[in-house]
Amino acid sequence: MTKEECKQVVLDIIADIAPDEDLTNIKPDVRLRDQMELDSMDFLDIVMELRKQHGIEVPEADYPQLASLDSCAEYLTPKFIALGK
């Protein structure tokens, strides 16, 4: 999996959780929270959908790594690769 593909995975999850958000112009280097209405319940859901859909575990201490699309890709891509994806 490439970092770009990883960003798409995260975007797909957000689209699923928050279908009322417009995701067309999300800037990868800006905090997701600053670009759309995402609260702590929504972040919990991103983490849980990663586990449910992709078998990826994100410990609570690492939640800050999911702040922006870029940081998600940095953090998650190696995890996907480790799972052979």
Partner 1 sequence: MRLCVFALKLRSVFHPLNTSTHYDVAIIGAGMSGLAAGIRLAHFGKKVCIFERHNAVGGLNGFYSLGGRKYDVGLHAMTNFVRPGVKGTPLTKLLRQLRIDRDEFALCEQKQSRVAFGPNGETSLRFTNDFAVFESEVARQFPAQIDGFRALVQVIRTHDEVALDTGYQSAREIVRRHLSDPLLEDMIFCPVMYYGSANEHDMDFSQFVIMFKALFFEGFARPFDGVRVILRVLVDKYRQAGGERRMKCGVARIVAQNGRAATLVLDDGTEVTADHVISSAGAAETQRLIESPITHPQSQITTGHPVGRLSYAETITVLDRQPAALGWGDDTIIFFNDSERFTYARSETQVDTRSGVICFPNNFDYGPDRQLAEGWFRCTCLASHALWADLPEEQYRADKAARYAEIQRSARRFLPPVDDATLTAATVATDMFTPRTITKFTGHLGGAIYGSPQKIRDGRTALSNLYLCGTDQGFLGITGAMLSGISMANLHVLAAK
User: Rule CB under 8 A: which residues touch partner 1?
Assistant: 16-20, 37, 39, 41-42, 44-45, 48, 52, 60
Cα gap 72→66, rounded to integer Å: 5
Question: Radius of gyration (Cα) for the chain, nearest Å?
Answer: 12
- Measured from the CB atom, is 46 or 73 closer to partner 1? 46
* Count of residues making up the chain: 85
The angle subtended at Cα 61 by Cα 58 and Cα 64, nearest 5°, is 85
Q: Name the minimum Å distance from CB 2 to partner 1.
A: 28
- Measured from the CB atom, is 35 or 70 closer to partner 1? 35
- Measured from the CB atom, is 23 or 44 closer to partner 1? 44
